[in-house]
A and B are shown apart, each in its own frame.
Chain A
């Protein structure tokens, strides 16, 4: 009995170690996680009275947990469907933060720079192309020595916005994919194995020779994985980069509810597998104190935070869109 009391006292003590700060919880997409964790650790220095805890549990998770209101904000790379939005107890707003590229990375000897077109990527992920030295791949990469090796497809095992962007693109460029698989944060993958989160897929590709997968650009760059140049709608092979994502973003039409798709954008310089990522917040905040801090943070994010994006390979929103989003942020009631 004494022991239990002592333990309870210890728990109480640890809980009150430091001065009370507010904790705002968010969960969701792992696609922008490197940027968000950076934002939150920087913002902890700006406003010491509040901390933002972010867990990258996948976009599907972000949508589900904000609907269940177990977190203060969600994060998702795929816009929520009308059906899911209808489940929200109050109006739920999409706040786009940045755009990023989903890159096709692989693990091959000598780390060559591949060129791929949408149809080939779709056939690899449909399980129709099973060897690295398949005629379709070698035709697009003349003069490259590709091994006679099994292709190991790696996809996400969790509900993910990265998957949403990727399957959205494949559905746009490949009829068979659109009919057989479709687009969603989680789909029924024809082949391959699953990794949890962008991090899990990257790790899996690193560990497995002959693997191919899709991850957010920052993950590929930070881990020195090679990624392919992809043929865009204008017929050019384009490298994923901030510039090519910005070009894609420039040609996207953004509706008033900020839900939009930017895959296979028409621009000559546009990288085709790109997407925006959103924070999901309620237009009417339940907790006034938390709501105020959240709005303050968002205002900081769209002024100071956006400037950190490029360093981590995310494309900041164009100025006019930023202004529109800021207006929306200021309209959040608390």
Chain B
């Protein structure tokens, strides 16, 4: 499916002298240029907004753990840490679950169940972040605090991740909420990937006498490995930028702690909380720089995911949604 219509090669029509034609084409070209322009615009805005902080803190901004509006000293490390850790927790939960769900839907589920199940997953994708946050505050957090976290501390308490006081709002709660939110995209992309595994693969494996499970493990999963990795990376791209739900359950504390029960903070949350009220210029510039870090992170991760998935789909537009 390459874009232009093959008739573009008909020379009289290629460069039409007809002015409505020309202006229509220009309009379309402008609209496309807007995409490139927008990426540039966002990058430039964030960069120019953060110049003061870049000059003042230089590279130490990324390694400093100070976030002190009184002395006007700012560092991004706790937020980068919080963003990565909460996203990682989300991936650890959502990727296996998403792939398992996709496997179930493509390989195991009775025909009748498939469509409704797919619809349910799609509906999960439609729930806005703020509603997950609301549910997180009033339903999820109390349950985590009184049941799951207690159980984790009792059984896995020897690990540094599950020690210390339990408040409910925590890095782990943030990760769990994000996991729920990226589950639909991971499931949907995994399903696309699994469905694209050629029938021949499976049949060959069966012919060699493999059991159903071996077929899935070797022929299907083995074949789809790279694509599934791409799905996971795309999920990561989503997780990094989750804002509202995380802000409502993570505890908003810029500190690096081993315990997942401790409150944390993410790049997106600190911007949501402090962007409208940073009174000093350096403070505001630091927030812009956090935005720049977040933007760069998500661009890189998304680009990597798209490239992985595209390579699989061959040339042309991969049937991949962002």
| Contact in complex: A57, B167 (CB < 8 Å) | no
B70 surroundings in chain A (CB, below 8 A): 181-184, 186-188
Contact-residue size bin, chain A (C-beta under 8 Å from the other chain): 35 or more
Query: Which of B189-197, B226-234, B270-278, B300-308 sits within the interface?
Result: B270-278
B68 surroundings in chain A (CB, below 8 A): 187-188
Known pairs A60-B279, A158-B273, A208-B168; A193 contacts B251 (CB<8 A): yes
Give min CB distance, B281 to chain A, whole Å. Answer: 8
Say which residue of B142, B252, B277 sits within 8 Å of A193 (CB atoms): B252
9 contacts between A and B (CB under 8 A): A27-B276, A60-B277, A152-B167, A187-B69, A188-B67, A193-B169, A196-B247, A207-B142, A211-B167
| Contact in complex: B168, A64 (CB < 8 Å) | no
Decide if A84 is an interface residue (CB 8 Å cutoff).
Answer: yes
Decide if B141 is an interface residue (CB 8 Å cutoff).
Answer: yes
**A159 CA to B253 CA in the complex, in Å?**
14
Known pairs A187-B68, A187-B69, A192-B253; A61 contacts B167 (CB<8 A): no
| Contact in complex: A184, B276 (CB < 8 Å) | no
Known pairs A157-B273, A188-B68; A64 contacts B279 (CB<8 A): yes
**A41 CA to B279 CA in the complex, in Å?**
29
Q: Which of B237-288 contact A (CB under 8 A)?
A: 247, 251-253, 263, 265, 273-274, 276-280, 284
In the complex, which residue of chain B has the Cβ closest to the Cβ of A151? Answer: B165
A60 surroundings in chain B (CB, below 8 A): 274, 277-279
Decide if B137 is an interface residue (CB 8 Å cutoff).
Answer: yes
A145 surroundings in chain B (CB, below 8 A): none
| Contact in complex: B67, A63 (CB < 8 Å) | no
Interface residue SS majority, chain A: mixed
Decide if B310 is an interface residue (CB 8 Å cutoff).
Answer: no
Decide if A204 is an interface residue (CB 8 Å cutoff).
Answer: yes
A195 surroundings in chain B (CB, below 8 A): 252
Q: Which of A130-166 contact B (CB under 8 A)?
A: 150, 152, 157-159
Q: Which of A188-203 contact B (CB under 8 A)?
A: 188-189, 192-196, 203
A194 surroundings in chain B (CB, below 8 A): 251-253, 263, 265, 273
Chain A positions 61 through 92: 1 when the CB is less than 8 Å from some CB of chain B, otherwise 0: 11111010000000000000001100000000
**A203 CA to B141 CA in the complex, in Å?**
13
**A185 CA to B278 CA in the complex, in Å?**
10
| Contact in complex: B167, A159 (CB < 8 Å) | no
B263 surroundings in chain A (CB, below 8 A): 193-194
| Contact in complex: B253, A193 (CB < 8 Å) | yes
Residues of chain B whose beta carbon lies under 8 Å from any beta carbon of chain A: 66-71, 137, 141-142, 145, 165, 167-169, 247, 251-253, 263, 265, 273-274, 276-280, 284
Decide if A58 is an interface residue (CB 8 Å cutoff).
Answer: yes
A184 surroundings in chain B (CB, below 8 A): 69-70
In the complex, which residue of chain A has the Cβ closest to the Cβ of B146? Answer: A209
Say which residue of B137, B276, B279 sits within 8 Å of A185 (CB atoms): B279
| Contact in complex: B252, A157 (CB < 8 Å) | yes
B253 surroundings in chain A (CB, below 8 A): 189, 192-194
Known pairs A60-B277, A193-B253; A152 contacts B165 (CB<8 A): yes
**A187 CA to B254 CA in the complex, in Å?**
12
**A61 CA to B277 CA in the complex, in Å?**
3
Closest 10 CB pairs of A and B: A60-B277, A61-B277, A194-B252, A188-B68, A159-B277, A150-B165, A193-B263, A193-B251, A157-B252, A186-B69
Taking A185-B69, A186-B69 as given, write out 10 further A-B residue pairs in contact, using a Cβ cutoff of 8 Å, ordered by the A residue number.
A58-B276, A60-B278, A67-B279, A157-B252, A181-B70, A186-B277, A187-B68, A192-B253, A193-B169, A194-B265
Q: Which of A206-227 contact B (CB under 8 A)?
A: 207-208, 211
B66 surroundings in chain A (CB, below 8 A): 188
Give min CB distance, A33 to chain B, whole Å. Answer: 15
Say which residue of B71, B137, B141, B277 sits within 8 Å of A64 (CB atoms): B277
B273 surroundings in chain A (CB, below 8 A): 157-158, 194, 196
| Contact in complex: A188, B69 (CB < 8 Å) | yes
| Contact in complex: B69, A193 (CB < 8 Å) | no
Give min CB distance, B247 to chain A, whole Å. Answer: 8
| Contact in complex: A64, B252 (CB < 8 Å) | no
Q: Which of A252-295 contact B (CB under 8 A)?
A: none
B284 surroundings in chain A (CB, below 8 A): 64
A204 surroundings in chain B (CB, below 8 A): 169
A158 surroundings in chain B (CB, below 8 A): 273-274, 277
Give min CB distance, B51 to chain A, whole Å. Answer: 18
Give min CB distance, B172 to chain A, whole Å. Answer: 13
Say which residue of B168, B252, B279 sits within 8 Å of A84 (CB atoms): B279
Query: Quick one: which of B68, B273, B279, B284 has the most chain A CB within 10 A?
Result: B279
**A61 CA to B274 CA in the complex, in Å?**
8
**A77 CA to B46 CA in the complex, in Å?**
31
Known pairs A193-B167, A207-B137; A63 contacts B279 (CB<8 A): yes
**A188 CA to B253 CA in the complex, in Å?**
10
Say which residue of B142, B165, B252, B276 sits within 8 Å of A61 (CB atoms): B276
Query: Quick one: which of A150, A194, A204 has the most chain B CB within 10 A?
Result: A194
| Contact in complex: A159, B278 (CB < 8 Å) | yes
**A203 CA to B252 CA in the complex, in Å?**
14
A57 surroundings in chain B (CB, below 8 A): 276-277
Give min CB distance, B55 to chain A, whole Å. Answer: 19
Give min CB distance, B61 to chain A, whole Å. Answer: 16
B277 surroundings in chain A (CB, below 8 A): 57-64, 158-159, 185-186
In the complex, which residue of chain B has the Cβ closest to the Cβ of A67? Answer: B279
